[in-house]
Amino acid sequence: MRKTNMKQYLSKSYWLLPKEDSCIAPEGVWSNKDMDPTPIEYRTWTGWTFFSYWVCDLFQPGGWATTAAFVGMGLMWWESCLAVLAGSFLSAIVIACNGVVGGTLHVPFAVSSRAVYGYYGSRFVVISRCIMGCFWLSINTFAAGQYVSYAIEAIWPSYARLPNQIPASQGATTKDFLSFFLIWVIQFPFLLVHPSKLQPVFYTKACLVPVVALGTMIWALVKCRDGPGIAYALSTPQNRVSAGVPRFIAFMYSVTSVQGTWATMGVNVADFSRYCRNPKSSWLQLFAFPVINTLVSIVAAITAACLLPVYGDVLYQPYLIVSKWGTSPGGRAAMFLASLAWALANVTTNVSANSISAANDLAALFPRWMNIRRGQLFVAIVGVWGFAPWKVLQSAANFLTFMSSYSVILAPIASLMFFDFFVIKHGRYNVYELYVPHGIYYYTKGWNWRAYVAVICAVAPNMPGMVNAINPNIKIGNIKYVYMVSNIVAHFIALNVYYILNKLFPARQTLIDHPVHDVLEDTPAIPMNYEDSSDMEKNEKLNLV
């Protein structure tokens, strides 16, 4: 009996999901309800929802670390905040525009991207987003593990002296990996619950984390006042980058790092905006996002600037700051509470921004085998343990290099998505055709070559800079100045190349006269226009979404 059961578990048929009925996907196309246009009763997001979301999401350790790292590079605290404002505004343009697209079509980005990259070509975009979602899930989980370490040390200080069996070359200790495992166990059940059922947790974060952030800044100000002096620390940083070109490079590199931080959201914001009552509410993000993010950066930048002359380091990660508090009973109490608050911030970010999005991507890529629940299980296990976040978080330089490098590809992908909708197609998409494999968005064998030529042209000038950022021993000459504005260059090249290609080689079948942006209640799903029965059999085998 056991052998039979084991064979059953290992068979493909055991894991095959039952085919769900879709309100829009044609017969023969495997889909699931999560990929359908959002029903009217679930379209509840307003401008205030977006504002509340960003207030909650932006108060998290990743954003703090990004700003503090700029101070560590040699920028003044206000220059760091200015870089955050500039980078956030540029990111907000992409986020808001793609948010309007999602709010208009009410479909996830895995579906809307088919209109730009082709029915099959969109899978590369979805895979890229899924990988980044898993990577961020891993990074945030490991960072949360650091807070677990200090929370435990606040109660049992001997935990800090746990014998280490891990080689120093790994950049982490036995204690780090044990805390990583503990937070993974604690976080696991939260990743399986839909964010709508975790509102009390999100409200708790929104109340606690800002208080902890402000308290941390006040502690840094007091620490600096008793040492070199606040005015001196804020006006005369000891690591000030040289004026002229070096300072400009540092500033623009910081702007690009901010854009890299939010490049993923620029791609998949439709996963949230699809729930909008009115797509216009997404425009609020154009102002709310940069303003809120800049306010958070002010707290982080002032804290980093004050701690630099005291400790000789900006202590760019909040867990590096709380580690200094365990010298007294009151300090350990603050260390425990702050660690819990920051850990909670990372967990809630993982739930809302990484786990659900990556699970959606997997459901879109493998609809026969993956639904949202299975996708969440997969990313909670493979997504967390399949990367090496301790290497990324080992230093501020590594952290910023990671931020800048992966956005080189995501930046043009995101900008082409809204550019195609507003400029090339003039806001006229047919939502039914997004679900038809051989429909108007089939392009050339399922791929829109125009979009990929534009992406390749946008990425190519930035590749030498990315290689140099990863390995500084490789000299690339003056082309490094292109990489410091990699996202801006990528956007500019991609949009211009894509526009020219569409003018020279227009995909006329996609240029429709009248938009169909919603599911019509009295209109049945469009049948598949296969040329012959072999096409239908072929697509059935490919498990198309």
- Cα 49 from chain centroid (whole Å): 19
Band (pLDDT 50/70/90 cuts) for residue 23 is low
Identify the pLDDT of residue 359: 87
pLDDT in tens, 461-489: 988 888 877 777 888 888 878 888 999 99
CATH for 38-164+187-513 is 1.10.4160.10
pLDDT in tens, 53-111: 888 888 888 889 999 999 998 999 999 999 999 999 999 999 999 999 999 999 989 99
Of 290, 230, 277, whose CA–CA distance to 94 is shortest? 290
Average pLDDT, the chain: 85
Report which of residues 193 and 8 the model is more confident about. Answer: 193
Band (pLDDT 50/70/90 cuts) for residue 528 is very low
Report which of residues 337 and 401 the model is more confident about. Answer: 337
* 186 has a pLDDT exceeding 60: yes
Band (pLDDT 50/70/90 cuts) for residue 212 is very high
* 526 has a pLDDT exceeding 60: no
| 154-157: long-range pairs with CB below 8 Å, 24+ | 154/326, 154/332, 154/333, 154/335, 154/336, 154/339, 155/332, 155/336, 157/326, 157/332
- Side-chain half-sphere CA neighbours of 533 within 13 A: 0
C-alpha 414/C-alpha 263 separation (Å) is: 8
DSSP secondary structure letter of residue 508: G
pLDDT, mean of residues 425-451 = 94
Among 87-91, 172-176, 260-264, 476-480, the minimum mean pLDDT is found in: 476-480
3-state secondary structure at position 107:
coil
Share of the chain above pLDDT 90, in %: 48
pLDDT in tens, 369-420: 888 888 888 998 888 888 778 776 665 556 556 655 777 889 999 999 999 9
CB contact at 8 A, 365 and 109: no
The pair phi, psi for residue 315, each rounded to 5°, is 50, 60
Band (pLDDT 50/70/90 cuts) for residue 211 is very high
C-alpha 56/C-alpha 63 separation (Å) is: 12
Q: How many CB atoms lie within 10 A of CB 17?
A: 15
C-alpha 435/C-alpha 524 separation (Å) is: 13
Identify the pLDDT of residue 403: 56
